[in-house]
Amino acid sequence: MIISGVNAQSLGWTEEFEAAFAPYAKKGFVSARLIRETKINFTALKHDGTEFDAFVTGKLWHDAESDADLPAVGDWVAIDLKGEDPVIQAILPRHSRFSRKMPGKSSDEHVICANVHYVMVVTDPLADFNLRRLERYFMLIEKTGCQPVVVINKRDLVTEEELKERIEEVQALSKVVQIHAMSALNDDPLEVLKDYFQIGKTVALVGSSGMGKSTILNRVLRQEIMDTGDVNDFTGKGRHTTTARELVLLPEGGLLVDNPGMREIQMWTDEKTLREGFADIEALSQACKYHDCKHQSDKGCAIREAVQSGELDDERYEGYLKLEEEVQELKRRRKKRKMITERWGKRTNRVKARNLDDRIQLEKDERGEL
């Protein structure tokens, strides 16, 4: 399929990508942006609007330390078109990526979309409206270098007074967030959100299932490309209407990624971040009598003394004791992922196999079964 009116700029190509791509251009690879993810491959879009399926090379799999090192929708990649199948050889450095923690037990990173400028959190003013969850979204967005936008959709379901209250509550949470209230059914989302739909700028729609993300996308596109549907959000057991992640070009310029509704939106972490959270306690441990102090029953433990004197909170101390366990768990999962990746990689480099547990959790979450 060829999409007309596409050029490098409208797809978000910049001088930085051009520079990063130069060594791959020498090898005869082409650059393309990933616009859709399926179980085994990606759909890529070239600067001229040509769409094609591409597979991930075994080497990328092999070198990936975590999920974040694998391609995601929104990525610019270098593709080798010379063989039988187009193969993604490299990911060009991302200017941003919006991630969350993998659903389920893993604390690993799940990249929702790469090279995003605005993350739009869509919520309603009623049952879904949750300040703690919005706060988590803001923390995640802050980590990525994208700009947060909150869309309070379905304003037709509340009074002006109630709506005003909701807006003020969100405002109080963050100084940098832009807030828009609308009804995707009665208002024109393209008009309300026009500041974000600019040539070459990528907007990601996120939020719980049934909030109207796909309705917004369809109206902005002036056509029904995404299924929309009623979801029983009180039980949260309803099937999600959108099941795949897709980046689309808007007729007026700009790019929009619709996402399946997400129930879990938590921080992902790595060893450094885990340790940073306990920097004060690690500093205390310098004063422990024994170099290999386990900070439990050892004599002369500065950390335990701080707990006894009330200087250090008991719960934080417990949390610190679990830190090593958590770091080890993180490492164990990475190793497991790598092994599975290699096994699958040997079988076929076409199959994208994340850590199997993660993959299952991810799919459950996106089908609304979590």
Which position among 57, 99, 209, 349 is part of the footprint of ligand GTP (CB under 6 A)?
Answer: 209
Binds 263, which of Mg ion, Zn ion, ligand GTP, none (CB < 5 to 8 A, cut-off by type)?
Answer: none
Binds 229, which of ligand GTP, Zn ion, Mg ion, none (CB < 5 to 8 A, cut-off by type)?
Answer: ligand GTP
Neighbour count for residue 7 (Cβ, 10 Å): 12
Give the CA count within 13 Å in the CB-facing half-sphere of 308: 9
Which position among 178, 183, 198, 285 is part of the footprint of ligand GTP (CB under 6 A)?
Answer: 183
CB-nearer residue toward Zn ion: 263 or 295: 295
In 3-state terms, what secondary structure has residue 360? helix
Binding-site size, ligand GTP (CB under 6 A): 23
Residues numbered 58-97 forming contacts with Zn ion, rule: CB under 5 A:
none
The phi and psi torsions of 45 (rounded to 5 degrees) equal -125, 125
Does residue 321 interact with Zn ion by CB under 5 A? Answer: no
Q: What is the DSSP string of 174-209?
A: -SS-EEEE--TTTS-HHHHTGGG--TT-EEEEE-ST
Which positions from 246 to 285 touch ligand GTP by CB under 6 A, shown as an x/- string? --------------xx------------------------
Does residue 223 interact with ligand GTP by CB under 6 A? Answer: no
Residue carrying the six token digits 């024109």: 188
Contact 301, 288 (CB under 8 A): yes
Report the distance separating Cα 148 and Cα 199, nearest Å: 19
What the block records as the tokens of 222 is 């002036």
CB-nearer residue toward Mg ion: 86 or 368: 368
- Of 48, 32, 109, the closest CA to residue 272 belongs to 109
Residues numbered 102-141 forming contacts with Zn ion, rule: CB under 5 A:
none
Does residue 305 interact with Zn ion by CB under 5 A? Answer: no
Q: State in angstroms the smallest separation of the CB of 177 from Mg ion.
A: 22
CA 309 to chain centre: 42
Does residue 242 interact with Mg ion by CB under 5 A? Answer: yes
Q: State in angstroms the smallest separation of the CB of 128 from Mg ion.
A: 14
Q: What residues have CB less than 8 Å from 108, skipping those under 6 apart?
A: 66, 67, 101, 102, 268, 330, 333, 334, 337, 355, 358
Q: What is the DSSP string of 307-330?
A: HHTTSS-HHHHHHHHHHHHHHHHH
Beta bridge partners of 203: 118, 256
Neighbour count for residue 211 (Cβ, 10 Å): 25
CB-nearer residue toward ligand GTP: 145 or 229: 229
Q: State in angstroms the smallest separation of the CB of 342 from Mg ion.
A: 35
CB-nearer residue toward ligand GTP: 36 or 337: 36
Which position among 241, 341, 355, 361 is part of the footprint of Mg ion (CB under 5 A)?
Answer: 241
Sole window of 20-28, 160-168, 191-199, 205-213 interacting with ligand GTP (rule: CB under 6 A): 205-213
Binds 295, which of Mg ion, ligand GTP, Zn ion, none (CB < 5 to 8 A, cut-off by type)?
Answer: Zn ion
Residues numbered 283-302 forming contacts with Zn ion, rule: CB under 5 A:
288, 293, 295, 301
Report the distance separating Cα 238 and Cα 90, nearest Å: 38
CB-nearer residue toward ligand GTP: 80 or 233: 233
Beta bridge partners of 99: 111
Does residue 213 interact with ligand GTP by CB under 6 A? Answer: yes
Which residues sit at the interface with Mg ion, rule CB under 5 A? Answer: 213-214, 241-242
Which residues sit at the interface with Zn ion, rule CB under 5 A? Answer: 288, 293, 295, 301, 303
Which residues sit at the interface with ligand GTP, rule CB under 6 A? Answer: 153-154, 156-157, 183-185, 209-215, 228-231, 240-242, 260-261
